[in-house]
Amino acid sequence: MPVVTVLTLLAALVGPWTVAESTAATTVTESPAAPATPRVEADPLTLTIDSLTPAVIPRKGPITMKGTVTNDSLDEWQDIKVYPRLSHSPFTTSQEVRLATESDPRLPFGDRITSEGHFDAGITQLAPGETRSWSIRIPRAVVASRISGSEGTYQIGVQALGATEDGRPENAVGRARTFISLMNPGHDKVATSVVVPIRRGILRNADGALSDESDWTQELGSGGRLANLATLLSNSGNAPVTMLVDPAVLSAAEQLAEGNLPRVLEDPEEDASSSSADSNLTLPAQVWLEEITSIASDHEVLGLPYGDIDVASAATYDEELLRRARKLSQRTLSARSISATPAVVPPSGLLPVDALASITDRATLLMSSEAVPGATDEITVPSTLRVGKRTMSIYDPSLMAEPEGEPLNALSARQRVLAEASVRSLSGSKQALVANLPSDFDPGESSTDFFSGLDQSFVDLRGLSQNTGGPSRESEHLDYPKRQEIREIHPSLFTAADELIAAGATLDEIVTTSDSIASHSLAEALNYTSYMMRDHQSTAERHSIEARDWLRDRLDLVTIDAPEFVILSAASGPFAVTITNGLDVPVTLAIEAHTRDDLEIMAPGEIELGANASRTIQLDAKANSIGVHSVELLATDLQGRPIGTSEQMSVRSNSVGKVIWVILGVGVGILFLAIPVRWIRRHRKKKAAADEVGS
């Protein structure tokens, strides 16, 4: 980039600011070539801007700002004054807005407004940890005297000054900032979409109950992140909004609404009541779930694969699990009468190109501009990208990036959208604007005017599916940084997930009182292969293994007891084994025998056992040879999947059926041959004796 351009950008960024960090009227200048300022300690006071009315600089009337100040230090602060400030010159390009967002919040801009009545001086004392509200009203005439009046996006913010027992610091001890645009009528509208995510990592105990119950209660309760998202959406009115939903979050809320019950081996009765459960837990979850379900019926919904499965990794290691995640997602949303379009939206916005083959053709794809080959700035970033037969929407991740040193809440997100829309409108850009809010976005409690503030003459708010205009591009691949490949869910987690699913399917098959164990086990396994677990993989694998072992422990309670040695008196014969069901529910199973030779074991095809019951079963053995045969007996479900441990035994066969008759036949033959021989010999002896006497 030419030096002149850099200087121009920096000049626009800092503006002709004066009265910077000191109450003294000294002019501050900074060389663009100066080294980066080392990061200093955090301000002792934290300021937030929770309300900015109107959302743009009005042609008439004042600007009102409201927020809070919190004492994060160990000192008591006194005589706190909160002053507004405005930059003099506006930003007119996306790059300038981006640079301002990424800049150090300590960089001053414009003049601090110190005229009486235009700042808040009502906080006389603030103890450590205490939070107080502030409010400022700036008349339009004062605003006009501080800005150039050119169209574009200005910076607006507040600074706090105060004193402790050690004295009054010269510099501000707290600050907050955002953007505010000035636009005249007549400019083109910028097609704009806001994507609101309902995503969260989910962990369960070995027994299936949600493990972080207190965190869920906090997030779903008043002021919690998920509750704030519901409030944001419920205040959207008729504004078209796109909801990005992981159905697993709805399932978790439903479980909490029912009392966060552990896994059971029999389906509850339809009239079962959770009235005995903790209302502090169930009520917020129930209210939130009903609210989100109701809101979803009025907006465009993108349904993520169930559990927010790591699509990049699953496409490589477990494509079948990805397919099942899609089906379970659609089934879960349909059960709540939520019409949704399948979607793949990685939190990073990045996906390897090979993964596209594993994604259903009906899925909506939303990708980061970082995935577009060769896209280095907003000028070259397309609105849509086509790779092969797949078309995907593109968003700029910097638009909703966390501001330097400040949280991204509803107000700052709204002002960022307006800032970007204003500079695009001024430039005549036809590029679609997509505000894809971060996966962990918390709008805060003051989000009631988020969407009403976006109702501006230069903004055309629409659902993502309707925001397909602007420049497009074709490519043969997607950029996928090595850092993302390294973070993918490890194949060992997919192995653990498959083992959990198999154990759940087997237990579900044998337990006659439940049809939900298998589906619940699948849902749990998908949670542990989630994008949300990329930075917690060892924890996720441990939870998956513990759940699998819980299921296997129940399977091990169904046992088979066989004699160590059985002797058959013939080529075939019966022998008895005992099947024991140690579960509190009835089961249906089968017995399977594994042998290495010609021994055959015949068993009943289906065996029913009551709860905590034993039963003796007769098996039939048949051998075609004499000898000792090794046999492995095991109980299985009706699909042939082993239930628990196996039983080793030996069978000795005495195959006498034909042999004995041969022996008997030979013996009889010998007997009949011996009779005449003995008769002849006896006759000869008598004759010899007679001849001897006669002589």
What is the pLDDT at residue 14? 41
CB 325 within 8 A of CB 307: yes
Encoding tokens for residue 614?
Answer: 């034993």
pLDDT at 231: 96
Residue 626 in this model has a pLDDT that exceeds 90:
no
Residue 663 has pLDDT above 60, yes or no: no
Nearest Cα residue to 583 out of 640, 502, 506: 506
- pLDDT value of residue 669: 59
**Residue 82: beta bridge partners?**
120, 160
**pLDDT greater than 90 at residue 258:** yes
Question: What is the tens place of the pLDDT at every residue in 540-581?
Answer: 999 999 999 999 999 999 999 999 888 887 778 888 999 999
- Separation CA 336–CA 255 (nearest Å): 14
Give the angle subtended at the CA of 75 by the CAs of 408 and 65, to the nearest 5°: 35
pLDDT at 601: 87
Q: Which residue did the predictor score with more confidence, 326 or 38?
A: 326
> Residue 174's CB: how many other CB atoms inside 10 A?
23
- Taking a C-beta distance cutoff of 8 angstroms, is the pair 381, 394 a contact? yes
- Tell me what the pLDDT averaged over the chain comes to: 87
- pLDDT, position 567: 86
The tens digit of pLDDT for each residue in 112-139 reads 999 989 999 999 999 999 999 999 999 9
Task: Confirm if 117 and 142 have CB atoms less than 8 A apart.
Answer: no
The CA–CA distances, whole Å, from 238 to 290, 463, 466 equal: 19, 12, 16
- Average pLDDT on 628-637 reads 90
Q: Which of 17-31, 188-202, 230-244, 507-521 has the lowest mean pLDDT?
A: 17-31
Q: Indicate if the pLDDT at residue 332 is higher than 60.
A: yes
667-692 mean pLDDT: 61
Q: Which residues pair with 112 in a beta bridge?
A: 85
- Is residue 489 over pLDDT 90? yes
C-beta of residue 300 within 8 angstroms of C-beta of residue 242: yes
Q: Helices marked H in 29-109 — which ranges?
A: 94-102
Distant-in-sequence, close-in-space partners of 440: CB < 8 Å, separation ≥ 6 = 199, 225
SS3 of 188-256: CCEEEEEEEEECCCCCECCCCCECCHHHHHHHHCCCCHHHHHHHHHHCCCCCCCEEEECHHHHHHHHHH
Report residue 382 as tokens.
Answer: 């397309």
pLDDT grade for 655, boundaries at 50, 70 and 90: low
pLDDT in tens, 228-252: 999 999 999 899 999 999 999 999 9
At 469, the pLDDT band (50, 70, 90 cuts) reads confident
Residue 34 has pLDDT above 50, yes or no: no
Cα–Cα distance for residue pair 397/378, rounded to 1 Å: 11
pLDDT of 15 over the 80 cut? no
Q: Is the pLDDT of residue 8 over 50?
A: no
For residues 655 and 624, is the Cβ–Cβ distance under 8 A?
Answer: yes
DSSP output for 581-607: E-SSS-EEEEEEEEESSS-EEE--S-E
Amino acid 603: pLDDT: 87
Which residue matches tokens 């066989």?
A: 562
Confidence of residue 676 (pLDDT cuts 50, 70, 90): low
Q: Are 601 and 617 in contact (CB under 8 A)?
A: no
Position 653 scores a pLDDT of 80
Percent over 70 (pLDDT), the chain: 86
Q: What is the pLDDT of residue 572?
A: 82
CB 599 within 8 A of CB 629: yes
Mean per-residue pLDDT for 222-233?
A: 96
Chain position carrying tokens 């060992």: 492
pLDDT interval class at 18 (50, 70, 90) = very low
Q: Are 655 and 626 in contact, with CB atoms under 8 Å apart?
A: yes
Rounded mean pLDDT, 271-283: 62
Q: How far is CA 21 from CA 13, 106, 112, 271, in A?
A: 17, 8, 9, 66
pLDDT on residue 668:
53
Q: Which of 11-25, 287-301, 653-667 has the lowest mean pLDDT?
A: 11-25
Instruction: For residue range 605-625, list pLDDT tens digits in order.
Output: 899 999 999 999 999 888 887
**What single-letter DSSP state applies at residue 282?**
H
Residue 274: its pLDDT value, please?
A: 43
Phi, psi dihedrals of residue 178, rounded to the nearest 5°: -160, -165
- 70-84, 313-327, 655-669: lowest mean pLDDT where? 655-669
- d(Cα 642, Cα 590) in Å, to the nearest integer? 9
* pLDDT score of 63: 97
pLDDT at residue 659 is higher than 80: no
